[in-house]
């Protein structure tokens, strides 16, 4: 109990400072990036694309990408070559500015330091100082938004049902404010993601709803964790390429209990533009060539759902609102990704408690960074 009080006291002390204080702290604790000088982006995947747009907007020349994936070395992305990390110093010198644009940024930063580079930056330096310039919500490290939600953060902290959840919540908020990499030590979980056995207890006739079914990875996990004892699986995947993958997998199973829908989930029937990338990060966008249909769970599924998993790239809150009747009536187990939007970590527990105050809320974290924070409700 005292530990929780101490955490809450420290949390409120952190939240009592201004956003400018934290930005100045980032500047003080890091080298200053020079936008007039060129840069190399280490990480040529999704996050590399995010930072390509950012630096082009800033007018900074991107000399090259680099990546630990040897299979893509020498490839060209948007006219920019991917070079071997061992060639960077010879080509550009040890003082070239390098930004780690990968989820494995800690490993990259360590490697680059060993190789003798002097001007290395992590992505959160930029998404904290220039949060308005980022269009991918998880990278908008909006300190002002955090501080302005002090009351809601305190309320969400109180809603959490165990010390481990409160520690995860505290450390993630603390990391976003201080960018202290040690914040992720001792909070990573190694239980089965979506099926933490200390929290989720499955019966023999569960009705699963899988929002963000991707290529069938969660369906496979459901079959494994339930020992193939379940009543139904309703899987939703709006990305046509991913839908094809999971549909082919389900056809091979020949199991009539499993149904797949090429639909997104939200708070009401709607049509949205979509990236349709055929990967884990396909998402709704303001403009796009592909359009998808969004449906609310309450109006589409007329079943006694017992388990809802949502990993839908920032649409989790809307999908919960679209399932409020189902949640109020049946109290299904909820397994909700709580990291796609910065404020998910406090807004989703608050929403779940509002829908059904008798839920117990837990957080578990499954990565070494800001990804894969899951809110469980039972």
Q: Is residue 199, in this structure, part of any structural domain at all?
A: no
CB-CB contact of 223 with 248 (8 Å): no
Quick check: 306 pLDDT over 90?
Answer: yes
Residues 57, 15 share a domain: no
Residue identified by tokens 């809601």 is: 152
Quick check: 290 pLDDT over 80?
Answer: no
Strands (E), 131-172: none
pLDDT value at residue 16: 97
Residues 233, 178 share a domain: no
Residues 223, 153 share a domain: no
Q: Is residue 224, in this structure, part of any structural domain at all?
A: yes
Mean pLDDT of 180-201: 91
Residues 243, 309 share a domain: yes
Angle, alpha carbons 106-111-113 (nearest 5°): 95
Q: Is residue 213, in this structure, part of any structural domain at all?
A: yes
Residues 177, 111 share a domain: no
In angstroms, the CA 118 to CA 244 distance is 46
Quick check: 168 pLDDT over 80?
Answer: yes
Residues 274, 217 share a domain: yes
What's the burial of 244, exposed, middle or buried (CB within 10 Å: 0-12/13-18/19+)?
A: middle
Q: Is residue 356, in this structure, part of any structural domain at all?
A: no
Quick check: 105 pLDDT over 90?
Answer: no
* Among 118, 153, 175, residue at a domain's last position: 118
For residue 36, the domain's CATH number is 3.40.50.720
Q: Is residue 27, in this structure, part of any structural domain at all?
A: no
Question: To which H or E segment does residue 55 belong?
Answer: helix 46-58
Residues 36, 9 share a domain: no
Other beta carbons within 10 angstroms of residue 62's beta carbon come to 19
Characterize the bridge pairing of strands 270-274 and 290-295.
antiparallel
* Among 100, 118, 136, residue at a domain's last position: 118
Residue 78's pLDDT band (cuts 50, 70, 90): confident
Residues 212, 157 share a domain: no
pLDDT value at residue 279: 45
- Coil, strand or helix: which one is 158? helix
Structure tokens at 240: 């046509």
Residues 112, 45 share a domain: yes
Picking from 175, 161, 165, 166, the residue whose alpha carbon sits closest to that of residue 14 is: 175
Average pLDDT of the chain to the nearest whole number:
92
Q: Is residue 365, in this structure, part of any structural domain at all?
A: no
Residues 11, 160 share a domain: yes
Range of the domain at 173: 2-22+144-184
Query: What are the two backbone dihedrals, phi and then psi, of residue 249, each rounded to the nearest 5 degrees?
Result: -65, -45
In angstroms, the CA 371 to CA 52 distance is 21
Strands (E), the chain: 39-42, 62-66, 76-77, 80-83, 97-100, 120-122, 207-211, 232-236, 258-261, 264-265, 270-274, 284-285, 290-295, 307-310, 333-337, 361-365, 373-377
For residue 286, the domain's CATH number is 3.40.50.150
Mean pLDDT of 251-267: 95
Q: Is residue 126, in this structure, part of any structural domain at all?
A: no
Residues 80, 174 share a domain: no
Structure tokens at 302: 């007329």
pLDDT value at residue 305: 98
In angstroms, the CA 150 to CA 140 distance is 18
144: CB partners within 8 A, 6+ apart: 19
pLDDT value at residue 277: 62
pLDDT value at residue 135: 67
Q: Considering only CA atoms, give the Rg of the chain.
A: 22
pLDDT value at residue 46: 81
Residue identified by tokens 């469980």 is: 376
Q: How far is CA 298 from CA 126, 265, 308, 373, in A?
A: 40, 10, 12, 25
**How many percent of the chain have pLDDT more than 70?**
94
Q: Is residue 192, in this structure, part of any structural domain at all?
A: no
205: CB partners within 8 A, 6+ apart: 229, 230, 231
* Among 136, 169, 184, residue at a domain's last position: 184
In angstroms, the CA 128 to CA 143 distance is 7
| Number of structural domains found in the chain | 3
Residues 94, 238 share a domain: no
pLDDT value at residue 288: 58
What's the burial of 283, exposed, middle or buried (CB within 10 Å: 0-12/13-18/19+)?
A: buried
Mean pLDDT of 197-223: 96
């Amino acid at each position: 109990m005292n530990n929780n009080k101490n955490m809450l006291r420290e949390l409120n002390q952190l939240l009592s400072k201004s956003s400018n204080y934290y930005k100045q702290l980032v500047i003080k604790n890091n080298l200053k990036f020079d936008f007039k000088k060129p840069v190399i982006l280490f990480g040529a995947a999704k996050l590399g694309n995010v930072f390509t747009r950012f630096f082009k907007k800033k007018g900074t020349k991107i000399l090259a990408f680099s990546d630990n994936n040897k299979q893509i070395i020498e490839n060209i992305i948007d006219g920019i070559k991917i070079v071997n990390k061992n060639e960077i110093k010879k080509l550009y010198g040890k003082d070239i500015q390098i930004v780690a644009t990968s989820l494995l940024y800690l490993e990259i930063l360590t490697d680059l330091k060993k190789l003798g580079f002097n001007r290395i930056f992590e992505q959160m330096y930029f998404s904290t100082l220039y949060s308005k310039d980022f269009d991918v919500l998880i990278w908008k490290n909006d300190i002002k938004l955090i501080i302005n939600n002090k009351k809601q953060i305190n309320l969400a902290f109180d809603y959490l049902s165990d010390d481990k959840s409160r520690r995860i919540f505290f450390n993630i908020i603390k990391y976003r404010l201080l960018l202290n990499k040690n914040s992720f030590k001792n909070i990573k979980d190694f239980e089965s993601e979506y099926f933490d056995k200390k929290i989720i207890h499955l019966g023999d006739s569960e009705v699963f709803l899988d929002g963000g079914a991707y290529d069938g990875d969660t369906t496979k996990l459901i079959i494994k964790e339930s020992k193939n004892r379940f009543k139904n699986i309703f899987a939703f995947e709006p990305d046509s390429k991913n839908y094809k993958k999971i549909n082919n997998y389900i056809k091979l199973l020949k199991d009539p209990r499993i149904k797949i829908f090429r639909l997104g989930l939200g708070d009401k029937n709607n049509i949205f533009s979509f990236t349709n990338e055929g990967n884990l990060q396909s998402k709704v966008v303001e403009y796009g060539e592909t359009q998808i249909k969004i449906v609310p769970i309450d109006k589409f599924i007329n079943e006694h759902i017992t388990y809802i998993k949502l990993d839908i790239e920032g649409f989790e809150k809307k999908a919960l609102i679209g399932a409020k009747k189902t949640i109020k009536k049946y109290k299904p187990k909820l397994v909700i990704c709580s990291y796609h939007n910065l404020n998910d970590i406090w807004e989703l527990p608050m929403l779940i408690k509002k829908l059904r105050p008798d839920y117990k809320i837990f957080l578990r974290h499954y990565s070494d960074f800001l990804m894969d924070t899951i809110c469980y409700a039972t």
